[in-house]
A = this chain, B = another copy of it.
Amino acid sequence: MKLASFAFTILALFHTPLATFAQAPSLDAEDIKIAEQLRDEALKSSKGYAIVESLTTEVGPRMAGTPGDAAAVKWGEAKLKELGFDKVWKEPVTFPTWKRGVETAEVISPYPQPLVITALGFSIGTAAEGLTAEIKAYETLEDLKNAPDNDAKGKIVFIKYKMKKARDGSGYGPAVSARGSGAVEAAKKGAVGILIRSIGTDSHRMAHTGMMRYADDVVRIPAAALSAPDADLLENMLKRGKPVEVKMTLGARDGQEYTSYNVIGEITGSEKPEEYVLIGGHLDSWDLGTGALDDGAGVAITTAAAELIARLPQRPKRSIRVIMWANEEQGLVGAKAYAEAHKNDLNNIITGAESDFGAGKIWRIDSRVKADALPVAKKIAEIMEPLGISYGNNRAGGGPDLIPLRQLGVSVFSLRQDGTDYFDYHHTPDDTLDKIDKAALDQNTAAYVVLAYLSAQMDGDFGTDIE
């Protein structure tokens, strides 16, 4: 810590004349000192853990449009008020809903035994008596796409692709397309159903749910994921060269339109209250787990960070706005609604960042700011150095719920978490509180409080129309 403070002193000395000369955005030395205190305070706060413990215990699963969703909205409002936010309100978000129902599968022949599956989000159901057909396996979605017409005629397609583990979650992209568009591609080849190996990196007998999509001009077929051990089992059966017949039964169906809410808490700024730093996580979860990692942790980290700022003797210059986003899982629905509702005052957002990659330690910070604000972004990174965080690049994504705003030019930051184990639990029943390490959560809070506080205090801005 001492070394880092020393480095800061040098840079601060160096920075001041630059800032003066170019009128570039800059940070005040006193603010940096406070940010460092907030950072160190966060490391011993455990407030984030208390928040996610509360959400998972008192609400639990909160899939969009369920009673859990409504309970989470009530919880969010109450929690923000309890924690001393200056303003707490909610903004409506309306969307179609989906219900899971029963989900079972079994091998009928040649080796009868049950399989563990879970329906993919917005899959149709099967007939009540189930769907029985022979399995037709493909290594990848690409192989399925490249197969001849009618290659899977009357069959249940099985995509075997195994997602790869990586700290940055980079295995997800190549894998998840099988979940998103597998049903459409399988139906194009004449399939009557599809089973994918779960988009996950664990070896536990729990299947990973998540969204799938249909196309208007392609017949809709039921879609589910197999747990990794069940996908292995099916592969081993298929190696024996005999036809493998599987029965799958899904009770999934569409529900009615529903209105939920983005829940918003504000620490109101003392000098430019209309300008704000936007941080948050999404309040909805999938239905299988208690949504501790996805995304109770994100809600908790960002709320705890703002709460630390609220405890200061005076309010920051700009406002800090925590958004608990509605219905991220089924298509960034809350994020899109917010961008639409606020499209005329986006210039008020100084920058934004969502925490939505579990509860692993942050190891890198990326920015997306205008060129002359880069020194400030890098100085913010420097204050995080004692946390084991280094600066990455200026191509930050900002997190899923920041995508609509980022696309409209809003500056964003990405505080990149270690996601090595994230996809072991993602979208499964195993997404529960015990997977969260308190110290790692505090480290996250420490990083967010530095970002939020210094962004609220900086002279100048990060830009308002960033490519």
A residues with a Cβ closer than 8 A to B are 53, 56-61, 67-68, 71, 111-114, 116, 203-206, 228-229, 232-233, 236-237, 240, 289-290, 428-430, 432-435
Contacts and interface: CB of A to CB of B under 8 A. Distances in A.
A45 to B, nearest CB: 19
A107 to B, nearest CB: 8
A435 B203 CA distance: 8
A109 to B, nearest CB: 12
Nearest to A203: B434
B60 A111 contact: yes
A76 to B, nearest CB: 15
B113 A233 contact: no
Copies of the chain in the assembly = 2
Contact of A57 (B58, B111, B429, B434): B111
A432 B232 contact: yes
Contacts of A289: 205
Contact of A112 (B53, B67, B114, B229): B67
A111 B59 contact: yes
A57 B236 contact: yes
Contacts of A113: 59-61, 68, 290
Nearest 8 interchain pairs by C-beta: A60-B113, A229-B432, A205-B429, A57-B236, A203-B434, A205-B430, A58-B111, A229-B434
> Which of A57, A203, A236 has the most CB atoms of chain B within a 10 A radius of its CB?
A57
B111 A432 contact: no
Contact of A236 (B53, B59, B71): B53
Contacts of A204: 204, 206, 430
Contacts of A290: 113, 229, 233
Contacts of A112: 60, 67, 71
A96 to B, nearest CB: 23
Contact of A434 (B58, B232, B237, B435): B232
18 contacts: A58-B111, A59-B111, A59-B113, A60-B114, A61-B113, A68-B113, A116-B429, A203-B434, A203-B435, A205-B289, A205-B429, A205-B432, A206-B206, A228-B434, A229-B430, A232-B433, A232-B434, A233-B433
A93 to B, nearest CB: 23
B229 A433 contact: yes
Contacts of A60: 111-114, 233
Nearest to A428: B205
Nearest to A57: B236
